Amino acid sequence: MSEVELPIRHVSSARVVAVRGSDIEVRSDTVVGEEPMEIRVAGPGQDPVAVAVTMRTPGSEQELAVGFLRTEGLINGPEVRRVSFGNPGSLNRPDDTVIVHLSEPFDASRVAERHFVATASCGICGKASLDEVAVRCDPIPAGPVVSRKVVLALPDMLRAAQAVFATTGGLHAAGLFTVSGELVSIREDVGRHNALDKVIGEQVIAGRGPLNDLVLMVSGRVSFEIAQKAAVAGIPIICAVSAPSDLAIEAADRLGVTLVGFLRGDGFNVYAHDERIELRDLLRL
């Protein structure tokens, strides 16, 4: 199991006036940290190219940068040589700029073509069609199959490992699990897409991929961005406590990803590729 590494600036405190019924209290409250981070890329002998600026919860910056580049199809993973921090002066802390150094040249024209605009809430919006994602996404192989018991247990296991949310109530989490329900990695962020990029980036930096034998559990809803990022990383199964969008369902169906939503209590909905969920004991022949 991966240890959850909490950043120094992941939370801060704020003065609040708390109203509860007819009671009022002035107290200090713990709130989620949010700061900008610029992602840059450089090949051998190249000056770093600015790719995107995203709002994120401080912590796991290297994983976020590598995961973002991988899930957006700008790198394959093995060419990552090292990741460093830099401060060009536009941002106020060294870890607010992350430079990913590659072992091969980086084509800067790919950034200009994609018109990246990143935010914590919605990821990279409106920049890619489903057809374009399918072109740069390797086919998801058949399997694995996960039991209904494991699927139902995922929300509690994710919440138990989601340390900062229990303190602030303001972070999304993304967790990678084995099909037997063992936690491989969990990361948190104010943005659901950032949390996913962080766990994927961790795997890329460790030299693992594609992630064809893992299950992704997310704490919020499933958007098109979540579905396409998981598919690009090779993740075959996505589970979520909330609803998927219609485009997320279409993407999962076309890209070969099993999509589970409304995973709460003793139930869930399977929106695409239900063959990876063990349901035979429920079928009435």
> For residue range 177-229, what is the model confidence (pLDDT) as tens digits?
999 999 999 998 888 889 999 999 999 999 998 899 999 999 988 888 899 89
Cβ within 8 Å of residue 37, ≥6 positions away: 53, 54, 55, 56, 61, 64, 65, 91, 95, 96, 97, 98
Is 239 tagged catalytic? no
Q: Is the pLDDT of residue 247 over 70?
A: yes
pLDDT single digits (tens) 104-130: 999 888 786 665 655 444 444 433 445
Give the active site residue among 122, 125, 137, 239.
Answer: 122
DSSP structure class, residue 140: P
How open is the CA angle 110-116-118, to the nearest 5 degrees?
145
